[in-house]
Chains A and B, each alone.
Chain A
Amino acid sequence: MKLSAFTSGKWAGWPALGLVATATALAFGGLIGFNRSEFDWSYFSDPYFLAILRFTLLQATLSAALSVVLAWPMALALSYLKDSTHKRAFLSLCVLCFVMPTLIVITGIISLLGRSGSLSPLLGDDWNLYGLSGILIAHIYLNLPFAVRTLYLRLQSIPDASWRLARQLKFTRAQRFRRLEWAAAHSATWLLLGFIFVICFNSFAVVLALGGGPKATTLEVAIYQALKYDFNISEALALAWVQLLIAGSAFLLVSFCGKVSWLSPASAPAQLRPPATRLEQLAYRLLYACGWLFLLAPLLALTPRVIHSGVDMEFWRSLSRPLLITLGLGVVSTVLSISLAYSALRPYRRARMQQSPAALWLDWLTSHSLAVPAMVLSVGLFVLLLPHLDLDHWGIWLVAAINGLITVPFAASQLKPALLNFDSQYHRLSLSLKLTSRERRRIEWSYMAPAIRTAAAFVGMLAMGDVAIYSIFGNQDFVTLPWLIYGYASTYRLDEASLASMVFLGVCGLLIFYLEKQSPRHA
């Protein structure tokens, strides 16, 4: 068989795929089979449950709507501005903001708008960051850049011919918007609303740090609290099921509708776009400036605290261990995630080359865990492993392993386009050249290297920023940097929180710099 020459074996990649699926199956086993508790239906009529469900839906809807509505003018402004170094930097910053560990953003927002924040005096005496307002601000900060970039890329894709037509037909600004811009980006708008809704529905760190008590709690935080505050497993499981049903079906619905492309490099702006009027130009520039200010403000707010903080050597020493643990965690999770994704994609690639209908569900199987919120997966595994494993001893390894597992879909989505390209371009060639499998693998690797680097930077950042999985499996012997920052931020040690965030931001900045440097070639 020809294809056996391509892979080292017919079953290559299946163990990885099996592992990814088994982890989910085990988590479900934990969710279903915990015998100490009967499923408590009465919980669903508890006013507390209804209140948190309502709040979870409310904050996710508002976060999604506000992020997308605010992203539109920003994306329009960007699309009218000439290509420049600072505009490219802005678009890179958009990537960084979306993937940045949330605890950095939270610290920045607290130093800006918290009780002793630099902007708080302007907001009056009644201002309180903690609660819905804080959650919304953080969610908008994290998701607006993602929406801006996605919409901008859609706007850039309007062909020159359309613009030419618009010029010839002397479209008004409103017509241009309706016929061209909205037409190009409306499907992306709905998708973005759905995606951001799901992301915010699953939001953990933001709500934990900025929630301010039981008034502003989401399902995800309530799961954590049921397990860690009450050790009420039946309640944690009931909540996890609700979380899974809502977030999972919302995710499936959204991903069924389409795919958001936002990481592709920005192409050159259309030359034939009708020139903006001076007033429009002014508005765009103003919006653009506001965009910069909005994205930079929380990061800049860390600086004065860093400069004026009176921390001593003891602090730096206390930082080094969490930093090393976080980096180690990032490396282990990344290696695991990338190798799993790489191998798990094997059966899919084979099916694609054989034009087998199995390709579709193999692809789905690789990425299915996207629909399972990290908290649900963690709680399921926690309940399952609890009686059999010393979780204290294995906790940190489980954090790394689960992070590796849940980031497989992200790694796969980064690797897939390049792998499929490789297969379509070089597969036949390498067969006809009768290359040995080792030589083929070497060619494949060198072709894949940039995509692997991008995927690694991505996955590494996600794993290092994890709080949800850590909150379930972590312990005090292995404090990670985000958890340390959370500890500082929640006890109002903002100097320490800012310093630790700055260090973390530095690490992430390096990674994203790497990512952006690589992405123009393969995205």
Chain B
Amino acid sequence: MYNLFHTASVSRVARTLIAVSVATFATSASAAEELTVYTYDSFISEWGPGPALEKNFEAACQCDLKFVALEDGVSILNRLRIEGKNAKADVVLGLDTGLIEETRKEGLVQPHSVAFDALTPVLKWSDKDFVPFDYGYFSFIYDSQKIKQPAQSLQELVNSSASVIYQDPRTSTPGQGMMMWMKSAYGDQAENAWKQLAQHTVTVTKGWWEAYSMFLEGDADYVLSYSTSPAYHQVAEDKSQYKAALFSEGHVMQVEVAAIAANSEKKELANRFLEFLISQEAQEVIPVTNWMLPVRKGVKLPSAFDTLIQPKPIELTPEYIAANRKTWIKEWRSAVAQ
């Protein structure tokens, strides 16, 4: 979900500042109808899809797209809950499959009118509230110059002594994905597996970016990221040593989604924006800025994408996740806090 940065030299905070100032300048541009979008910060950083999408959409709609940057997917949901009726969002962008049901149940979104004919059949998408805009598979990334024989299953990784960095499931969607992965691989035994993993976990970070930059500095053998991450290194850095490990249990799929906020009165404009998100134009931008797979059929991708692993998806319904997320989080934190 997060785009990778050229030299990883700009911190989240600095990026946020840039993003915020970009957003602020954008507001003052015109008095046209405003569409406020809550998203996560890296989406609207200057390397992310935000700026290009904003330019293209504004040109078409004669409106003013205003991004509000939050830390990441889980934070967007928390923000909506915290603000309740005061929420300023018209569109929320950057939630994922694991948060869909909870968001819906709390009445934070309203139905859209977007048609899904052009979407890839892989997603089997038909949700009436949420529109997918990219997807990927959670994967552990390793440096093939350092690790010659990568783990071939999640169990092998958990049982090994290889150093691992992953993200906090309470703040970060990859961390949440890891939780689902562990649950589907271990079921009732997950608590013990977490404890075992904790033995060789370097740290659990708040967000994806911290984890990934620590990994690039050589602090761990594996980092939790996406199957698409190696494409970034190939395209932007011309480096091919970073690879995603293919696990025999299959990989949890993350679909990133957008929706119209429950109390938005700009339903029509919001729908246009959601339609734009899955348009050919936007779908060509997103893979090479957010480094995820396009949701639309027939989008041309750089050849680096052909070299990526093709994981077997683990199917988890949003209802199942929503019913268990809180319990899983409790189980995780109890296990790792020991």
**Chain A residues with a Cβ under 8 A of chain B:** 46-48, 51-52, 55, 115-116, 130, 212-215, 217, 225, 228-231, 315, 318, 321, 386-387, 390-392, 476-477, 479, 483-484, 487-488, 490-493, 496
Q: Which residues of B contact A476 (CB under 8 A)?
A: 16-17, 20, 41, 69-70
A488 contacts B11, CB within 8 Å? yes
A315 contacts B330, CB within 8 Å? no
A229 contacts B84, CB within 8 Å? no
Q: How far is the CB of B277 from chain A (nearest CB, A)?
A: 23
CA distance A479 to B20 in the complex (A): 11
Q: Which residues of A contact B330 (CB under 8 A)?
A: 46, 48
* Cβ-defined partner of B337 (8 Å) among A51, A477, A496: A51
B64 at interface, CB cutoff 8 A: no
- Give the nearest-CB partner of A321 in chain B: B17
Number of A-B contacts (CB under 8 A): 99
CA distance A320 to B336 in the complex (A): 40
CA distance A229 to B171 in the complex (A): 5
**A487 with B217: in contact, given A51-B334, A321-B17 (CB under 8 Å)?**
no
**A493 with B11: in contact, given A51-B338, A229-B74 (CB under 8 Å)?**
yes
* Cβ-defined partner of A492 (8 Å) among B75, B204, B217: B217
A231 contacts B81, CB within 8 Å? yes
Q: How far is the CB of A64 from chain B (nearest CB, A)?
A: 23
A47 contacts B78, CB within 8 Å? no
B337 contacts A48, CB within 8 Å? yes
- Give the nearest-CB partner of B16 in chain A: A476
1/0 per residue B147-175: CB within 8 Å of A?
00000000000000000000010110000
A490 contacts B204, CB within 8 Å? no
* Cβ-defined partner of A491 (8 Å) among B11, B20, B74, B334: B11
- Give the nearest-CB partner of B169 in chain A: A229
CA distance A318 to B88 in the complex (A): 26
1/0 per residue B204-224: CB within 8 Å of A?
111001100110010100000
What are 13 A-to-B residue pairs whose CB atoms are below 8 Å?
A130-B203, A213-B336, A214-B168, A215-B338, A229-B78, A230-B78, A392-B83, A476-B41, A479-B17, A488-B13, A490-B210, A491-B11, A491-B209
Q: Which residues of B contact A55 (CB under 8 A)?
A: 337
**A215 with B336: in contact, given A229-B78, A491-B11 (CB under 8 Å)?**
yes
Q: Which residues of B contact A116 (CB under 8 A)?
A: 217
**A318 with B337: in contact, given A228-B78, A230-B170 (CB under 8 Å)?**
no
* Cβ-defined partner of A214 (8 Å) among B12, B78, B83, B337: B337
* Cβ-defined partner of A48 (8 Å) among B69, B206, B334: B334
- Give the nearest-CB partner of B202 in chain A: A128
Q: Which residues of A contact B201 (CB under 8 A)?
A: 213
* Cβ-defined partner of B338 (8 Å) among A47, A130, A386, A492: A47
B78 contacts A231, CB within 8 Å? yes
Q: How far is the CB of A488 from chain B (nearest CB, A)?
A: 5
Q: Which residues of B contact A318 (CB under 8 A)?
A: 14, 17-18
B170 contacts A229, CB within 8 Å? yes
Q: Which residues of B contact A484 (CB under 8 A)?
A: 13
Q: Which residues of B contact A230 (CB under 8 A)?
A: 78, 170, 329
CA distance A488 to B16 in the complex (A): 12
- Give the nearest-CB partner of B207 in chain A: A491
Q: How far is the CB of A224 from chain B (nearest CB, A)?
A: 11
Q: Which residues of A contact B189 (CB under 8 A)?
A: none
Q: How far is the CB of A310 from chain B (nearest CB, A)?
A: 9
B333 contacts A115, CB within 8 Å? no
Q: Total interface residues on B, using CB and 8 Å?
A: 44
* 6 other A-B residue contacts (CB within 8 Å) besides A48-B330, A48-B333, A230-B78: A116-B217, A214-B336, A318-B14, A484-B13, A491-B11, A491-B210
CA distance A230 to B333 in the complex (A): 13
A215 contacts B20, CB within 8 Å? no
Q: How far is the CB of A299 from chain B (nearest CB, A)?
A: 22
Q: How far is the CB of A483 from chain B (nearest CB, A)?
A: 8
**A115 with B210: in contact, given A229-B171, A476-B69 (CB under 8 Å)?**
no
B86 at interface, CB cutoff 8 A: yes
B198 at interface, CB cutoff 8 A: yes
B214 contacts A386, CB within 8 Å? no
Q: How far is the CB of A214 from chain B (nearest CB, A)?
A: 5
Q: Which residues of A contact B168 (CB under 8 A)?
A: 213-214, 229
Q: Which residues of A contact B170 (CB under 8 A)?
A: 225, 229-230
Q: Which residues of A contact B9 (CB under 8 A)?
A: 493
B residues 1-28 near A (Cβ < 8 Å) are 9, 11-14, 16-18, 20
CA distance A478 to B301 in the complex (A): 39
Q: Which residues of B contact A390 (CB under 8 A)?
A: 86
A115 contacts B209, CB within 8 Å? no
B203 contacts A491, CB within 8 Å? no
B337 contacts A47, CB within 8 Å? yes
B residues 58-88 near A (Cβ < 8 Å) are 69-70, 74-75, 77-78, 81-84, 86, 88
Q: Which residues of A contact B198 (CB under 8 A)?
A: 215
A477 contacts B20, CB within 8 Å? yes
Q: Which residues of B contact A490 (CB under 8 A)?
A: 206, 210
Q: How far is the CB of B325 from chain A (nearest CB, A)?
A: 10
- Give the nearest-CB partner of B332 in chain A: A214
**A496 with B14: in contact, given A48-B337, A229-B171, A491-B210 (CB under 8 Å)?**
yes
A231 contacts B82, CB within 8 Å? yes
CA distance A83 to B282 in the complex (A): 72
Central interface residue in A46, A214, A228, by most chain B CB within 10 Å? A214
B13 contacts A213, CB within 8 Å? no
CA distance A115 to B218 in the complex (A): 10
CA distance A109 to B69 in the complex (A): 31
Q: Which residues of A contact B13 (CB under 8 A)?
A: 479, 483-484, 487-488, 491
**A217 with B337: in contact, given A212-B203, A390-B86 (CB under 8 Å)?**
yes
B334 contacts A47, CB within 8 Å? yes
B residues 22-73 near A (Cβ < 8 Å) are 41, 69-70
Q: Which residues of A contact B77 (CB under 8 A)?
A: 231
Central interface residue in A52, A213, A225, by most chain B CB within 10 Å? A213
A46 contacts B329, CB within 8 Å? no
Q: Please name the 7 residue pairs, one residue from A and one from B, whose CB atoms are nearest each other, closest first.
A: A487-B13, A229-B170, A213-B204, A51-B337, A231-B78, A47-B334, A493-B11
Q: Which residues of A contact B86 (CB under 8 A)?
A: 390
Q: How far is the CB of A47 from chain B (nearest CB, A)?
A: 4
B residues 85-118 near A (Cβ < 8 Å) are 86, 88
Q: Which residues of A contact B69 (CB under 8 A)?
A: 476
Q: How far is the CB of A67 from chain B (nearest CB, A)?
A: 26
Q: Which residues of B contact A229 (CB under 8 A)?
A: 74, 78, 168, 170-171
Q: Which residues of A contact B16 (CB under 8 A)?
A: 476, 479
CA distance A212 to B214 in the complex (A): 13
Q: How far is the CB of B87 from chain A (nearest CB, A)?
A: 10
